[in-house]
Amino acid sequence: MSANTPDTIPFVDLVAQYRRYQSEFDAAWRNTVENSAFIGGPALQRFEKAFAELCGAKICVGVANGTDAITLVLRAMGIGAGDEVIVPAHTFIATSEAVTNAGAKVVFVDVDPVHTLMDPTKIEAKITKNTKAIIPVHMYGQLADMQAILPIAQKHGLKVIEDSAQGHAAIEHGKRAGNFGDAATFSFYPGKNLGAYGDGGAVTTNDAALADKIRRLANHGRADKFGHQIEGVNSRLDGLQAAILEVKLRYLETWSAERRAAAKRYNEMFAGVAGVVTPKTRTEGAHVFHLYVIQVANRDALREHLTAKNIQSGIHYPIALHELEAYKYLGHQPSDFPVASHYCKNIVSLPIYPEITEGQQQRVVEAVKQFVGQAR
Ligand SMILES: *Cc1c(COP(=O)(O)O)cnc(C)c1O
């Protein structure tokens, strides 16, 4: 990240968010410290209840991060060695990494060329007798096509775990991310739409037995202080993070609306600009725009152009998973998942956050326009 100057447009502005609600954040952490409520405690319990309610799910279990959340769900479902789990070739590595962490085998499926979400038409070809689960990812804040994916899973007796690390409060036909599959996982990494002041994560589910197992696994396998029936791990959402998240949760709906409005402004400003492909929305009003990702030729040069104008940007993600060194052992060719491979080479994520102003967006769009104009 380049050094900030007063006119820098940051990629995400967490300081602006802190200033906006400073007294509430300060009271939350002070209260945690004064009560020594560092592990477990009332803020965690209140947050878990409130977050489950927001998602429309029965139960929320706080864990240490969004990657552990996926691994713990898989382990609690009894998915591990010898089992296969289907994940999109275009997502953050955490989705597939969690499958490996659980001891199961990663099986990639391509994404669709319009929304770049897990392509439901390509799932069945990947199902074998060892397949146990599908992990659709609500990429960039947009729900995967759950209406198409859930019947496929049902037909083949597979579990569905929503990776909703980028999809907090995304909603479709009145139903929230976190309430479609057998379980859903969330990350509260600081830059996510609902972000802690450190690492954090959660699982939502309507299955009480599964939730109980996850809670136990995440806390050294204990049912009570020393009654360890199984070995687990240490993966808890701590009290300080829960207290911050409890404050932030009150404003999540406002922030989603502000993100949507910012995305709409970008779309309008880019309308008719040749050489820039703007993101496509499956269902109007559903997307929570964790990221606003455009497609352009020469994206690395565009990023340099933006940096020179003190505009930060990102790439989510530069290399499709099957092309990563980490997955060489699977023996894939780039052409095995052509949509993901192609897409990854042409994307740039532009600054988006609830506090971004129209003036800042105007500057971003002017800079992009200037670049694509020169390039033609
Ligand atoms: C951030 C993210 C994760 C992992 O979350 P952590 O809290 O960083 O472990 C998993 N999946 C996706 C799609 C993510 O964006």
Model confidence pLDDT, tens digit, residues 2-25 = 457 789 999 999 999 999 999 999
Mutation to probe ligand 1, out of 72, 87, 90, 95 (largest number of atoms < 8 A from CB): 95
- State if residue 118 touches ligand 1 by the CB under 6 angstroms criterion: no
Model confidence pLDDT, tens digit, residues 315-369 = 999 999 999 999 999 999 999 999 999 999 999 999 999 999 999 999 999 999 9
Sign of CA dihedral 163, 279, 16, 91: positive
- State if residue 66 touches ligand 1 by the CB under 6 angstroms criterion: yes
- State if residue 94 touches ligand 1 by the CB under 6 angstroms criterion: yes
- pLDDT value of position 224: 80
Instruction: Look up the pTM and report it.
Output: 0.97
Mutation to probe ligand 1, out of 12, 63, 65, 67 (largest number of atoms < 8 A from CB): 67
Its CATH architecture, for the domain 16-109+116-249, is 3-Layer(aba) Sandwich (3.40)
Domain borders along the chain are 16-109+116-249, 253-375
Look at the chain and count its residues: 376
Q: Which fold has domain 253-375?
A: Aspartate Aminotransferase, domain 1 (3.90.1150)
The whole-number average pLDDT for the span 97-115 is 98
**Alpha-carbon distances of 85 from 36, 140, 208, 258, 262, rounded to whole Å:** 40, 22, 23, 35, 36
Among the atoms of ligand 1, which is closest to the Cα of residue 137? 13
Please, which residues bridge with residue 347 across strands?
Answer: 295
Measured distance CA(363)–CA(9) in Å, rounded: 9
Model confidence pLDDT, tens digit, residues 49-64 = 999 999 999 999 999 9
185: phi then psi, degrees, rounded to nearest 5:
-120, 145
Among the atoms of ligand 1, which is closest to the Cα of residue 139? 13
- pLDDT value of position 1: 46
Q: Is residue 219 scored above 90 in pLDDT? A: yes
Among the atoms of ligand 1, which is closest to the Cα of residue 189? 7
